[in-house]
């Protein structure tokens, strides 16, 4: 399974924001924790229903969303 398959968008969960499959944890929540320098081990301890692959999936999702085509006006 691709890591990105762990990320879902469900209008009935978290108001349709991207989240980790089978949880109510939003991708943005995981990214905010990582950006605040919370160690992965602490995140996994605080959210025992998450896995290390879920955290990697959030990072991969964010990287994919941040990548965009560069348009050059002629």
- Name the band, by pLDDT with cuts 50, 70 and 90, for residue 49: very high
State how far the Cα of 41 lies from the Cα of 15, in Å rounded to an integer. 28
Q: Are 27 and 19 in contact (CB under 8 A)?
A: yes
The answer to whether position 38 is within a domain reads yes
The answer to whether position 71 is within a domain reads no
Domain that holds residue 31: 3-66
- Name the band, by pLDDT with cuts 50, 70 and 90, for residue 1: low
Q: How many residues does the chain have?
A: 74
Answer yes or no: is pLDDT of 72 > 90: no
Coil, helix or strand for 35? helix
pLDDT digits 0-9 by tens, 4-47: 999 999 999 999 999 999 999 999 999 999 999 999 999 999 99
Q: List the CATH number of the domain containing 55.
A: 1.10.10.10
**Domain count across the chain:** 1
State how far the Cα of 22 lies from the Cα of 63, in Å rounded to an integer. 22
The answer to whether position 42 is within a domain reads yes
Q: Provide the strand spans (E) within the chain.
A: 7-8, 19-20
């Amino acid at each position: 399974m691709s890591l990105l398959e762990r990320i879902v968008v469900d209008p009935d969960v978290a108001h349709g924001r991207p989240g980790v499959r089978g949880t109510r944890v939003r991708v943005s929540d995981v990214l905010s924790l990582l950006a605040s320098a919370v160690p992965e081990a602490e995140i996994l301890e605080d959210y025992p229903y998450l896995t290390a692959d879920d955290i990697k999936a959030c990072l991969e999702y964010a990287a994919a969303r941040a990548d965009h085509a560069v348009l050059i006006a002629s």
